[in-house]
């Protein structure tokens, strides 16, 4: 399918400016990369709704991600379904959804999930399509410029040390990093149908390449157990472009055997130091945390994150 990337971005940029006027502006390079390079272990299906009455451009756009692993062959994720603000209230969203639903049926998918803001128009639209909130979330933001870190360096319990890298994981840590990723299996998932997809070293590398191929930056800080080199915990930040002023928190994980020792707080503090050194232009970090993830919410509160938006993963069973 040939996509007019200018028209595609015009819809998303107009919607962002209308819906989140106080938030960071959408970055064209990042959106182009997301459209061009699919997420790992999935196929990206762009769906467009032409502007009516002979007008140029799109009235709305959607990006559907079809999982292609055995564990999630029946599931899909709706990355975006966005109608241009000037075209809202005229049935464009319903028409776009019907095109998405037709594709889902053709692919034999039994459920689709999406992330929307609770209490907003997106939630009302999703509920009207039969969606239910499967996992309540909150988006938190930390101001990198004012957040404090220990003047003498971030302390760690005896027997641990930090490692940090940009981009693809070094070979020396790849296998251990994959095992730590698998610790996410016990992360809150609510009522989502999507199943845990096991990690190995090659998947770790491939996931990093997706970020880099899209034109982004991936920063990782890990806590290593000195006894055996295991990754006891880690945190990842992604900058959609090298010039982004907002970094996105991907995973923050502490492996079960190493919990209760303050490693989650320590690894995020060390990331603050690393981020400031590597990317001094970044002003804030945004992260999402499930309502039921009490330990991580406590860590974020202690580090000065502020709750900004109530979100939720909504799911439609088809």
> What's the pLDDT tens digit per position in 55-96?
899 999 999 999 998 889 999 999 999 999 999 999 999 999
pLDDT at 2 over 90: no
Please tell me the least confidently modeled range out of 88-92, 103-107, 190-194. Answer: 190-194
- pLDDT by residue (tens digit) across 91-103? 999 999 999 999 9
pLDDT band at 54; cut points 50, 70, 90 = confident
Those residues with Cβ within 8 angstroms of residue 99's Cβ, 6 or more apart along the chain or in another chain: 47, 49, 62
Mean pLDDT, rounded, of the chain: 94
Contact between residue 85 and residue 21 where contact means Cβ atoms under 8 Å apart:
no
Integer Cα distance of 24 and 257 in angstroms? 38
Torsion (CA) 281, 284, 287, 292 in degrees, nearest 10: 150
Percent over 70 (pLDDT), the chain = 100
Strand partners of residue 112: 76, 316
Rounded Cα distance between 194 and 234, Å, is 23
Question: What is the model's pLDDT at position 153?
Answer: 87
């Amino acid at each position: 399918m040939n996509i007019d990337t200018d028209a595609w971005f015009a819809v998303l940029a107009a919607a962002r400016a209308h819906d989140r006027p106080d938030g960071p502006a959408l970055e064209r390079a990042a959106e182009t990369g997301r459209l061009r390079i699919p997420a790992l272990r999935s196929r990206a299906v762009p769906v467009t709704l032409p502007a009516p009455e002979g007008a140029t451009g799109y009235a709305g756009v959607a990006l559907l991600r079809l999982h292609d692993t055995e564990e999630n062959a029946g599931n899909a994720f709706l990355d975006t379904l966005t109608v241009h603000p000037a075209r809202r209230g005229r049935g464009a969203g319903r028409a776009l959804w019907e095109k998405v639903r037709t594709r889902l049926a053709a692919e034999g998918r039994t459920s689709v999930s999406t992330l929307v803001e609770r209490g907003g128009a997106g939630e009302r639209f999703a509920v009207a399509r039969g969606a239910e909130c499967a996992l309540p979330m909150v988006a938190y933001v930390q101001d990198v410029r004012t957040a404090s870190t220990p003047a003498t360096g971030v302390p760690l319990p005896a027997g641990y040390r930090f490692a940090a890298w940009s981009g693809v994981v070094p070979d020396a840590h790849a296998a251990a990093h994959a095992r730590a990723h698998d610790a996410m299996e016990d992360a809150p998932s609510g009522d989502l149908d999507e199943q845990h997809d096991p990690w190995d070293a090659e998947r770790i590398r491939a996931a990093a390449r997706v970020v880099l191929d899209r034109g982004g930056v991936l920063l990782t800080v890990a806590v290593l157990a000195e006894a055996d080199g295991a990754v006891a915990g880690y945190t990842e930040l992604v900058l959609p472009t090298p010039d982004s002023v907002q970094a996105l928190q991907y995973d923050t994980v502490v492996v079960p055997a190493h919990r209760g020792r303050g490693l989650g707080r320590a690894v995020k503090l060390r990331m603050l130091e690393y981020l400031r050194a590597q990317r001094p232009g970044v002003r804030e970090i945004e992260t999402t945390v499930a309502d039921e993830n009490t330990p991580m919410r406590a860590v974020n509160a202690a580090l000065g994150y502020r709750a900004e938006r109530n979100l939720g993963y909504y799911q439609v069973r088809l």
